[in-house]
Amino acid sequence: MKQIPMLDLKLEYEYMKTAVDDAIKKCLDHQRWILGPEVKELEDSIASYLGSKHCIGCCSGTDALTLSLRASSIKLRNEEYFSKTDKVITTSFTFTATGDAILRSGATPVFVDIDPVSFNMDTNQIEDYINSNKDVVGILPVHLYGQACNMDEIMRIAGEHNLFVIEDVAQAFGGGWKNSKLGSIGDTGAFSFFPSKNLGGFGDGGMISTNDDSIMELLRMLLRHGGKDKYNVDHIGYNARIDTLQAAIVLAKFKYIDEFNERRRHIAGTYSKNLSGISNLTLPHTGSLPEGHVYHQYTVRTSLRQKLQTYLKEKGVSTMVYYPFPLHKMKVFDGRSINHGQLTNAETATEEVLSLPMEPLQSDDTTKYITDTICNFFEDN
Ligand SMILES: Cc1ncc(COP(=O)(O)O)c(C=O)c1O
């Protein structure tokens, strides 16, 4: 039986083999493993792609978020960490790293509910919380599954209340909001090069984008032990640089990002066409700006999620549940976070969502096999 993975990184490597192998060979030749030339080249290339003034490479998407928050605290408060009374509004329906980074910066995460259609934070809920509570310092929107949050609304609210905005762009490299690239709109954008991301490396890696010179300087210090001179430091820093080798690989793969995002959109278009009209299956909503979505995941929802997932597995089709638990139900956030209201939409999403295979090099035949199998399931259920 045909086995269809969520993603086939080996296939992608073979497609880009010459570019990637050449990039690795160049590193082997120059041997400049820490902050070698590829790091700056990657930072400059991505800054220019995003239309951001600066990009700063780092170890992971998690570090990109933590460093962004720490730099904001130093800039705004002149303190190494936020205090517990400082609140950062985010979503409960995301990967744990989003909320963990807020805890690590010393602040308290405030979870607001999501919009059930886009799966992203409900901007009315953000405003609702701010209007009746004080001490909010920032907003951390996540462009989940590659779908842009409503950045007009988020930036308006942030502007009116003097809040910083850190975009979690881990799942949305190359995505857009109107005429801007995601990650270039807020005070900082935090990207992940985890291997399965739209732009993924061969290990961990990340990037922060910003237009703010002082934040850029703080970030560069924090990720190199906390100082301009690593033998005489100013801040409580980290060793969180991106490796030269990782930067070289990501740089080689970066040349394919627009092509690959286009391939994702093509697969998503076929899924949506072939699966339309099934009553117990809700398809992703692309909003009025379909060009903004880069389909890191193509995520459907159904009350028969478990049964459908088992059926697809029997037919050789892999699927994943992103995410089975909302952050506010995790032990780590217990007593360390605030829930704004019941977060019912986030909880229901964790019970109903199912992400389908999204390998950019997946053939049309494979996509059709997946949708035929889903249609067969719903004919009997
Ligand atoms: C939404 C989101 N935020 C943050 C991260 C953290 O990125 P990383 O795994 O590179 O630390 C991820 C990815 O795993 C993610 O999906």
**pLDDT tens for each residue of 287-327:** 655 567 999 999 999 999 999 999 999 999 999 999 999 99
The per-residue pLDDT for range 40-55, each reduced to its tens digit, is 999 999 999 999 999 9
Bridge partners for 139 per DSSP: 89, 165
| Pocket mutation for ligand 1, best pick of 62, 94, 100, 296 (most atoms within 8 Å of C-beta) | 62
Cα(284) to centroid(ligand 1), Å: 21
Q: How far is the CA of 147 from the centre of ligand 1 (A)?
A: 15
- The pocket around ligand 1, CB under 6 angstroms, is made up of 60-62, 94-95, 97-98, 142, 168, 170-171, 192, 194, 204, 206
Is residue 372 predicted with pLDDT exceeding 70? yes
Distance 373 CA to ligand 1 centre (A): 31
Question: How much is the pLDDT for 290?
Answer: 55
What is the rounded CA–CA span in Å between residue 271 and residue 267? 6
Strand 206-210 to 54-58 pairing? antiparallel
* Per-residue tokens: 195: 């291997």
Round to whole Å and give the CA distance between 22 and 28: 10
CA distance 119 to 151: 14
Pocket residue to mutate for ligand 1, from 171, 182, 191, 296, most atoms within 8 A of Cβ: 171
Extract the tokens encoding 230: 């690593």
Q: Is 347 helix (H, G, I), strand (E, B) or coil?
A: helix
Amino acid at 112: V
Q: pLDDT value at position 230?
A: 86
> How many residues in the chain?
381
- Residue 147 host element (H or E): none
Mean pLDDT score across all residues of the chain: 97
In CATH, 257-380 is 3.90.1150.10? yes
Q: Which of 186-190, 228-232, 271-275, 337-341 has the lowest mean pLDDT?
A: 228-232
Cα of 334 to ligand 1 centre, how many Å? 21
- Residue ranges covered by each domain of the chain: 9-254, 257-380
Tokens 């951390």 label which residue? 140
Output the pLDDT for position 287.
60
pLDDT tens string 240-268: 999 999 999 999 999 999 999 999 999 99
Average pLDDT over residues 215-224: 98
What does the pLDDT read at residue 286?
65
Q: Let me know if domain 9-254 sits in CATH 3.40.1160.10.
A: no
CB atoms within 10 A of CB 371: 17
Which residue lies with its CA nearest to atom 10 of ligand 1? 61
> Would you state the pLDDT for residue 2?
84
Ligand 1 center–CA 205 separation, angstroms: 10
| Res 62: pLDDT | 98
Give 199-219 pLDDT, tens digit per residue: 999 999 999 999 999 999 999
Q: Which of 135, 167, 134 is nearest to 150 (CA)?
A: 167
The proportion of the chain whose per-residue pLDDT surpasses 90, expressed as a percent, equals: 97
pTM of the entire structure?
0.98
Counting from 1 in the atom list of ligand 1, the atom nearest the Cα of 101 is 4
Our mutation pick for probing the ligand 1 site, out of 182, 194, 204, counting the most ligand atoms within 8 A of Cβ, is: 194
* Tokens 């209201």, residue located: 341
Cα angle for residues 319, 321, 323 (degrees, 5° grid):
160
Span 188-201, mean pLDDT?
98
Measured in angstroms, how far is the CA atom of residue 97 from the centroid of ligand 1?
6
